Amino acid sequence: MRLIVGITGSTGVIYGIRLLEVLKKLNVETHLIMTKWAIKCIGMETDHDADYVKSLAHSFSDEGNMAASVSSGTHKVDGMIIAPCSMKTLSSIANGYDETLVARAAAVTIKEGRKLILMVRETPLSAINIENMLKLARLGIVILPPVTEFYTKPKTIDDIVNHGIGKCLDQFDIEHDLYHRWGSF
């Protein structure tokens, strides 16, 4: 399996980092794109740096590199996950404004009929945010905000993050043990 992973500058970059860590362990090939604000958030929100995050991916493209392989539909991948997905990126995707490589790769994913998962991060949501999500959901894009479940009785932030990442992996039928499934405990 080959996936594009986008990390944008919304709070919650740990979701993108954990996604890459898990996909690396599962031998899933990843192509990483990070926005400049994602890189800033990594330093503000985690003990990691951008080099560590880049090292988790098989390949990396700068957000400004519009000639990157993932900007073309001829580059075969199984889909894309943007974790976290800022409202700016959501708006760009919903309105076909391919200003960054993350937005362009998402547009290519949509036009090629591949699965796109947006782990949107914002609260409260404005009517504009909701309309953009609805527009994309009607196209089959999966809107997957990292909403915490409590039936597994999470004890740590890692438990909460792992559940969100596990839900993304479920969308691609990737087997994992990141959380207990309903009825399995």
Give me the CATH number covering residue 116: 3.40.50.1950
Residue 7: strand pairing partners? 34
Evaluate whether residue 180 is within a structural domain: no
Is residue 102 one of the residues assigned to a domain? yes
Which residue, 118, 90, 62, 85, is CA-closest to 11?
85
The amino acid at 115: K
Decide if 172 contacts 1 (C-beta within 8 A): yes
Q: Is residue 181 part of a domain?
A: no
Q: Is residue 164 part of a domain?
A: no
Whether cis (ω within 30° of 0) applies to the bond prior to 84 is: yes
Number of domains in the chain: 1
pLDDT tens per residue across span 146-171:
998 898 899 999 999 999 999 999 99
CA gap 165, 144 in Å, rounded: 10
Residue 105 placed within a domain: yes
What pLDDT, in 10s, does the model give residues 4-62? 999 999 899 999 999 999 999 999 999 999 999 999 999 999 999 999 999 999 999 99
Enclosing domain of residue 35: 2-147
Tokens of 20: 């890459």
In a domain? residue 87: yes
The closest of 66, 64, 75 to 31, measured between CA atoms, is 75
pTM for the model stands at 0.96
